[in-house]
Structure 1
Amino acid sequence: MKSLEAFRLTQDFTIPNFYQGGFDDFSEFLVGFVGAHRPACHVSLNASALYWASRNENFKKALTRADLVTADGASIVMARRLLGFPTRSQLPGVDLMDLALRLAGPQGWGVTLVGARSRVLEILKKRCQDLYSNLSCSIELWRQGQGFVSDLAGRMRSRGDRLLFVSLPRPSQDIWLDQNKEILGLPFMMGVGGSFEVLAGEANRAPRLWRRFALEWLFRFLQEPRRRLAATLQATFWFGGYLAKLWLAQKKLSIFRL
């Protein structure tokens, strides 16, 4: 698809299927993407994801094998611009999920929501049925093991589902989808992290002004500072160093080209 391009970060790390379009174009893109009728995984890319890719080989594989990768955070937009890649805007995962659910009813796409918290799943299903017209929505409580994967695939196939959203901690959700993509078989499968809680009304999303100034990460941190402190500091300092390394590599390459 013409909206996808290779995003080369380093000599040995390239993301082949990076979406370079804007949010306004994504509806048309998604209709075509789902219409291809082939098993496909989506990964949302932010600073935390790059950090995990540097630490977890299975997640790095999931990222490089993903059929669609989008810029979830302003950090990725900044990194791409630094490297000379055009990127119109970030596409937060919760907004992409909301857009996909709005399209699902009119397009006749059945949706499955897989998560680890039954209460959140029940609330989310009801909210989805209230918010999104003509939506066929099923919920599944995630379990370990290939038996669950096979049973889930069979149930989704019998319902004719097209979209699968999985809410597990990162990097588990993306690795699970990558390793079971062919069995699950849906044309749009996406790990959405905490989006279930946000859409279910169980967690607050950053106000629009915070999002406008790319401070949604700070808002999330302030909601749970004790739980998020170590991970936020680790990913932030790592990403700062990573950006500096990419910038220096680009400068060195430019000098050699002169």
Structure 2
Amino acid sequence: MQNVTVMDIPFVNITKQDLLQEHIYPRLEQKKKTFVVTANPEIVMKTREDAAFKKIVQEADYTVPDGIGIIIAAKWMKTPLQERIAGYDLSLDLLNYANTHQLSCYFLGASEEINQKAVEKVKKDYPNIEIAGNHHGFFELEDYDFAKSVADTQPDIIFVAAGFPKQEKWIAAYKHLFDHGLFIGVGGTFDALAGTVKRAPAFWIKLNLEWFYRLSQQPRTRFKRTLKLFEFMFRVMFNR
């Protein structure tokens, strides 16, 4: 599988469906450890100031382009990516697969309330999934005993919604404790599952304006993130 490199980060150049069918699902069946990073422009910008984080993202098994900014940047560089792969959509596909194949999942991250609501939603919509465990995101990266307690549940899929770079750093630091499993950092996915944050309507997503919808819904929390998006595009266009 070919990659497209944007600001030193290699992104998989493949459709979501092909990624799942040809790579992710077979690795789950074979019980291979798999680390997936869903990277948007903010994450790419963070790798510029955090060398350890950059190395983690570069060495992940699959880094997917989660954000229209990545797609536009790749096209600007004349190395277009096939499509955007949103972390939320990828998570739903993984939950569907886990439900069909009766896999176990661990849900790590978000606040205790949101985490619990997300797990209850999963139990309702995906009744065949075994809940290996769940825990809020207020844990210390250096807490080995906590990580070991999560690893002892040996889930098939572990969703980590602790925000970047914490979620990726935690996965990189402790995946060796697990016998198998797919590890994916999913950012605000638990908020969407819990219903506390609404996904942009399909109309906005189709127009590649999900970022604008989010800004209009959460102007205070999204303003700085939107500035990062424009800074990212500036650096790509002017090779800074």
Distance in 2 between residues matched to 1:162 and 1:31, nearest whole Å: 11
Contact 2:106–2:159 (8 Å) recurs in 1:
yes
Distance in 2 between residues matched to 1:225 and 1:184, nearest whole Å: 39
Instruction: Note if 1:238 corresponds to 2:231.
Output: yes
| Paired-residue identity, % | 23
Residue 5 of structure 1 corresponds to which residue in structure 2? 2
Residue 21 of structure 1 corresponds to which residue in structure 2? 14
Instruction: Note if 1:223 corresponds to 2:220.
Output: no
Instruction: Note if 1:207 corresponds to 2:201.
Output: yes
State the secondary structure of the residue aligned to 2:85: coil
Residue 252 of structure 1 corresponds to which residue in structure 2? none
Q: 1:198 to 1:34 in 2, by over 3 A?
A: same
Q: 1:86 to 1:228 in 2, by over 3 A?
A: closer
Instruction: Note if 1:39 corresponds to 2:39.
Output: no
Larger Rg: 1
Contact 1:45–1:71 (8 Å) recurs in 2:
yes
Instruction: Note if 1:63 corresponds to 2:60.
Output: no
The equivalences for 1:1-258 within 5 A come to 4-9=1-6, 13-15=8-10, 18-29=11-22, 30-137=24-131, 138-142=133-137, 143-144=139-140, 145-154=143-152, 156-157=153-154, 161-233=155-227, 235-246=228-239
Q: Show structure 1 runs of 5+ residues with no match.
A: 249-258
Q: 1:8 to 1:71 in 2, by over 3 A?
A: closer
Residue 255 of structure 1 corresponds to which residue in structure 2? none
Distance in 2 between residues matched to 1:95 and 1:28, nearest whole Å: 15
TM superposition score normalised by structure 1: 0.84
Structure 1 residue 110: Cα displacement: 0.7
Residue 253 of structure 1 corresponds to which residue in structure 2? none
**Which segment is superposed worse, 220-229 or 49-58?**
220-229
For residues 216-243 of structure 1, the C-alpha deviation after alignment (integer angstroms, 9 at most, x for no partner) is 111222222122223321x123212222
Contact 1:40–1:181 (8 Å) recurs in 2:
no
Q: 1:185 to 1:242 in 2, by over 3 A?
A: farther
